[in-house]
Amino acid sequence: MEIGVLGAVTVDGATIPAGKQLTLLAVLVCHANRPVSGDVLAQAAWPSAAPSPSTFRWHLHRLRATVGDRLVRRGDGHMLRVADDELDAVRFTRWVQRAAAEPAERALDLLDQALALWRGAPYGGLDDMEDIRVEAAALQEARLGAIEARAKALMSLGRFAECASDMATAVAGQPLRESFVELWLRALAAAGRPAEALRLYGRTRARLVEELGVEPSGPLRRLHEELLRHEPAPRLLPPDVYAFTGRTQELGVLDRLLHGPADVAVISGVGGVGKSGLALHWAHRSRDHFPDGQLYADLGQHTAADVLPRFLAVLGVILVPEDHDARIALYRQVLAERRMLIVLDNASGSVDVEPLLPGTAGCVTVVTGRSRFERLVTACGASLIQLDVLPPADAALLLSRIARIEPGHAVPLVELCARLPLALRVAGARLVTRPGWTPETLAARLTEERRLDELRAGELDVRASLEAGYQELPDAERVLFERLGLLPAPTFTAWMAAALLTVPVSTGGDLLERLAERQLLQPEGFDVAGQERYRFHDLIRLLARERAGTGPAQDSVRDRFLSCLLALVKDACEREYAGGFRLLDSGAPHWRPRGRVLPDEPMRWMAAERETLLAGIHHAAEHGHAAMCWDLALAGVRLFEIHGQFVDWEQTSRLALRVCRDHDELRGAGAMLASLSAVEGFQYRREKSLALAKEALPLLDESSVQALTLANLSAAEQSLGDAKSALAHITQAVTIAARLGDTLSEAVLLARLALLEGGAPRPMLDKAMKLAAGNTRVSSLIAMSDLLASVRAGRHAYAETLSIRILDDVRRYGDRVMEREALCLRADSLIALRRPAEAAACLRRAHELAVIQNVPLEVRRITAVLETRCLPTAESPARHAPRM
């Protein structure tokens, strides 16, 4: 169904006769997709006296015969359901909005389509109702705005005579709309008819004075003065960028310069990200706001001292002073009475720009460059636009426009070009200029090794654009930039820079910040450990790798990074567990930077470096560093266990196990088999856990890992019904931990033994708690055993209270696995205490955690309990594994 309101109200092209049905329909369309009360509808159609209910229903019935089931009841009112594309007013608005973001030629087509929808006065002149009158007035104003936009598009395309003809018609209908008059005057002058423009100004001024008692506005008066001088305003802008796409938010920031207090904007970003394109596109789009002209200078090619004489000359200054300061003063004096736009492109910093800034408000300056321009931001209140790569949809659209292909066909190339506008333009140019090439052809050529070579077309060169900042780097920053390209880590922090350069951590942080200032790194903000993180743009990472090269020296740098990562990860575990849960030592080298890295809560640092740890493990595996690989993987178990990252845990352990077997690293293979046994136990796959533990134990020396593996074996045996073996193995594990002096491991294992011995568990739990004193995490593990024992013994009131304390503790330090286990046990007690609603809430949160942690067996078990309205299940008390 199509509904028209841009003229007489129509449905599917048919005009609705005047009467009650038309009035009701107009009101409903005006409030489309929103309920309208019966009283409002009745008042609109019967303004003098309310109709009877039957009369009202009869007219609604007649209207329904026209619009069908689109007319529906909503409460006490009625609503007309209309899709956006079915209402001509919505289509008109959308086309006008799209036109604002398009180049002039495309904008003209869209505006023509939009204006063609108009057939007369909106709503057919039914403006005696307030809501319709307001809506109709807004539509009329939007139509006038579209006419202005169309005229500006014609001017941008150089079609001055056509614009003058159109604006003559527009002014005849709106003789006092000064923006129409101004456009007509400009079109006449540009078409070589300045005298006619002057006569038109005189007629308009006389009419304004006679009918409104006012003089023409400032823009119109300044245009009149320009016409009298016969001196065209300087227009130094280079051409608008072709196929400009997206950047709606950034254009909005620049638009605020036209009306807001700020009169300077700086556009900062990496090379090739589209800084100049954004500045020039906005400058062309906004040039009518600057009747005194636009100035442009490329400060990448010229200094301010070179530019000032040229600017003064085009501003009409005949005698330019020799002294630089005198030139600046004269330049600002000349601009003081003008409304101009100054675009300063490719500036290297604030100092380069300051001599070319106007001294007073009225003019607007847009600066682009790789710098952050801190002085302009703080001293001039400049608006800062930090430009990033394009969103995926905009990137595909830009490439499709350049290459003249469908956006869907451009998608495979978008990420290969890292959504960098320059790279997308190069890719588009190569497709256009090479007959027979398809997007797939180019994608196949954009391998990582050749990508920067392929992203070059004539004078467009992505490598050259990115390299400009690199070539200017001082020695220390240049070396760090290159070595960062060697790292497998996705993001970088100060300790990594310290490891790469063997400098203090604070120095590493300073050097990273300097690279960020030059747009060679992108700041990511602060992570959960309080470290500031940085990342490479994808194509800059390729440049860094290129410049780093390959060879023994580069391998040594990477090895030092891995050694630093291993030392810090193991230090974090050591500090977190105060020497308990002692890890095996592979003999891989440790390198520690100068300065503090680990925060007071070291597991926060581990969480912040999760991706770094995963990358380090994979890198060690790829290069055959078996000892480093399994040592990192074993240290990562603490992080994976606490956060329930079982996929990471299993994948890294399996990878390290394969590398250990490939290099006959038997001790490491035993450690990884033990690790896999633990993760299988956490996911309730008891048979696999048991088999892996049995395979691991012959390869393990007496150690905390051996004791914990025996505990995993015991848990699997207990679950599979072999209570005798389970008791024997957990007892053996406690003995080993005690002999080693690993009190935390002994505490956890004692708590597990307390649940298996069959007697009163309290004495053993108390002893375990005493051994764990001072370590919150291990104390919570002991408390979990106490909670499980209490649920089994039916002491539900105590268990319910204990579970609250445990949940408070584990949530404070982020142990999501123990949170899930505690929630399940708390739910058991709440069910027994006949508090099913609270139990259900606990189970729903536990279910959410089980899904996140990818534990399908637990997901199904919790779902089954919830579906039976929180009835306890026989297996619920026996599901909890000891922590490794």
Same domain? For 381 and 399 the reply is no
Distance CA(746)–CA(580), nearest Å, equals 9
CA angle 173, 176, 180 (to 5 degrees): 70
Same domain? For 794 and 878 the reply is yes
Same domain? For 369 and 399 the reply is no
Model pLDDT, residue 231: 59
Three-state SS for 44-59 is HHCCCCCCCHHHHHHH
DSSP alpha helices (H): ranges in 230-354? 248-255, 275-285, 304-314, 324-335, 350-353
With a pLDDT cut of 70, the percent of the chain lying above it is 97
Is 184 a member of any domain?
Answer: yes
Is 148 a member of any domain?
Answer: no
- For residue 869, what pLDDT band results from cuts at 50, 70 and 90? low
Please give the radius of gyration of the chain, using alpha carbons only, rounded to the nearest integer: 37
CB under 8 Å to 779, separation ≥6 — which residues?
Answer: 769, 772, 773, 809
Same domain? For 408 and 373 the reply is no
Has residue 276 got a pLDDT over 90? Answer: yes
* E strand spans, 575-717: none
In a 3-state reduction of DSSP, which class is residue 470?
Answer: helix
Is 678 a member of any domain?
Answer: no
* CATH assignment of the domain containing 883: 1.25.40
Model pLDDT, residue 229: 67
Distance CA(269)–CA(192), nearest Å, equals 42
Has residue 443 got a pLDDT over 90? Answer: no
**Contact status, residue 199 vs residue 183, Cβ threshold 8 Å:** no
Average pLDDT over residues 80-106: 89
Same domain? For 198 and 341 the reply is no
Has residue 873 got a pLDDT over 70? Answer: no
Same domain? For 334 and 202 the reply is no
Closest listed residue to residue 124, CA positions, set 113, 110, 106, 139: 139
Distance CA(790)–CA(870), nearest Å, equals 19
Model pLDDT, residue 499: 96
Is 62 a member of any domain?
Answer: yes
Is 180 a member of any domain?
Answer: yes
Sort 127 into a burial class: Cβ within 10 Å, 0-12 / 13-18 / 19+.
Answer: middle
**Contact status, residue 59 vs residue 21, Cβ threshold 8 Å:** yes
Same domain? For 183 and 207 the reply is yes
Name the DSSP letter for residue 268. E
Strand partners, 345: 298
With a pLDDT cut of 90, the percent of the chain lying above it is 53
Closest listed residue to residue 339, CA positions, set 297, 293, 296, 282: 293
Is 403 a member of any domain?
Answer: yes
Distance CA(657)–CA(749), nearest Å, equals 26
Q: Among positive and negative, which fits the CA dihedral 325, 326, 327, 329?
A: positive
Single pTM value for the model: 0.68
Domain span including residue 221: 168-232
String of DSSP letters for 140-160: HHHHHHHHHHHHHHHHHTT-H
Has residue 508 got a pLDDT over 90? Answer: yes
**Contact status, residue 77 vs residue 38, Cβ threshold 8 Å:** yes
Same domain? For 863 and 829 the reply is yes
Structure tokens at 10: 């129509």
Same domain? For 345 and 436 the reply is no
Closest listed residue to residue 177, CA positions, set 153, 154, 135, 211: 211
Tally of structural domains, the chain:
6
Is 591 a member of any domain?
Answer: yes
Convert the pLDDT of each residue in 523-575 to its tens digit.
999 999 999 999 998 899 999 998 998 889 999 999 999 999 999 999 999 88
**Order of strands, sheet of 36-37, starting from the edge strand that comes earlier in the sequence:** 36-37, 77-80, 71-74
Same domain? For 179 and 127 the reply is no
Convert the pLDDT of each residue in 199-215 to its tens digit.
888 888 888 888 888 88
Is 669 a member of any domain?
Answer: no
Convert the pLDDT of each residue in 766-820 to its tens digit.
999 999 888 888 899 999 999 999 999 999 999 999 999 999 999 988 888 999 9
Structure tokens at 766: 């108390």
Convert the pLDDT of each residue in 287-318 to its tens digit.
888 888 899 999 989 999 999 999 988 886 76
